Amino acid sequence: MVTAVIGVGLIGGSLAIELRTKGVSDHIIGVDSNGQHAVEALALGIVDDMMDLESAVMKADLVILTTPVKAAVILLPQILDKIRPDTVVMDMGSTKDEICKAVKHHPNRNQYVASHPIAGTENSGPKAALKNLFSHKIGILCDISQSNDKAVALAKSIYQALDMNLVYMDSDSHDMHVAYVSHISHISSFVLAITVLDIEKNTSTIFDLAGSGFASTVRLAKSSPAMWGPIFEQNAKYISQALGSYIEKLSEFKAHIDNNNGQAVQQLMEKANEIRKILKD
C-alpha cells in the first residue's frame, strides 16, 4: 500500500515509522510545506519520497493528514477533490468538529475518516518522531456513519497496527471531552510557565529550584504555539467552558488559603485524590 503522509512532524513522522515497521505500507510519500522538515524526513529515512500535495494524493492508496488543524481545514477539501475513487483519507487532528464541517457536503466525504490519536510529546518536527509513540494509547474515530465501510475498516486496521485502543464518538462530543482532558492541560502548563517567568526574572533561580514536580507540570509549555494556537481557536467554545470550571476551582482553593482554612484545603486535595481510581499507574 502506498501511503501519503501530509505533514511529517512528530505525529506524521512517528506514524510513518510505525507503518513501515509494521509492514502496513511498502512505500511512504511525504508532503510538507517546511523545506527543512522535508530534507530531514528524507535523510532520516522516515519517508521514501517527498512530493507536492497533488502528486502525492494521486499516487496514494491512503492519505493521512497530520498537519496543524488550521491547515487541515484548508487542505482536506483539496485532498478530497483530487483522490482516486478507491483512495481512503484520514486526518489526525486534535479537534474534529470544524474539520468535519469543512467537508460535510463534499461528494467524496464517505472516503474520509475523522480520527485523533491521543499521543504526542512537547517536541516537534521529523527529528522528534518516535517509534512506539502510539502504543497502548487511545485512538478516536469520529462520525464513522458518514464514512464508507472500506474507509472505516482501513482506519480501524491502522489504529490496531499502531497498538492503540479504539474509541468511537461524534465530532462534537470529541471536542468537548478533549477540551477537559487535553487542551486545558496545555493551557494550564502555558499559564504556569508564564506565571513563574514573570515572577522569577532570574532564570537561573528557576533551574536551581525546579524539582521533578515542576518540570513534569510545565513540560507541555514547551509545545509548539503554531500547533496549539489553532487548536484553541477551533475548540474555543468547549475550552472556555473548561477554563470557567477550572477558574472556579482555583478561586475556591485560593479562598480557603486566604482564610487559613486548612481543613477545607485538605478536603479539596482528598477529593482530587479520587483521580487515582481512574488514572492507575
Query: pLDDT tens digits for 238-276?
Result: 999 999 999 999 999 999 999 999 999 999 999 999 888
Taking CA atoms, 190 is separated from 98, 244, 268, in Å, by 24, 17, 24
User: Which amino acid type is present at position 226?
Assistant: A
- CATH superfamily, region 174-277: 6-phosphogluconate dehydrogenase C-terminal like domain (1.10.3660.10)
Are 76 and 102 a contacting pair, CB within 8 Å? yes
Domain boundaries, the chain: 2-169, 174-277
What three-state secondary structure class fits 138?
Answer: strand
What is this structure's pTM?
0.86
Q: pLDDT tens digits, residue range 178-203?
A: 999 899 999 999 998 898 888 777 66
Alpha carbon distance 33, 226 (integer Å):
14
Q: Which residues contact 37 (CB under 8 A, 6 or more apart)?
A: 8, 9, 125, 126
Residue 11 has pLDDT above 90, yes or no: yes
CATH node for 2-169: 3.40.50.720
The 10s digit of each residue's pLDDT in 24-33 is 999 999 999 9
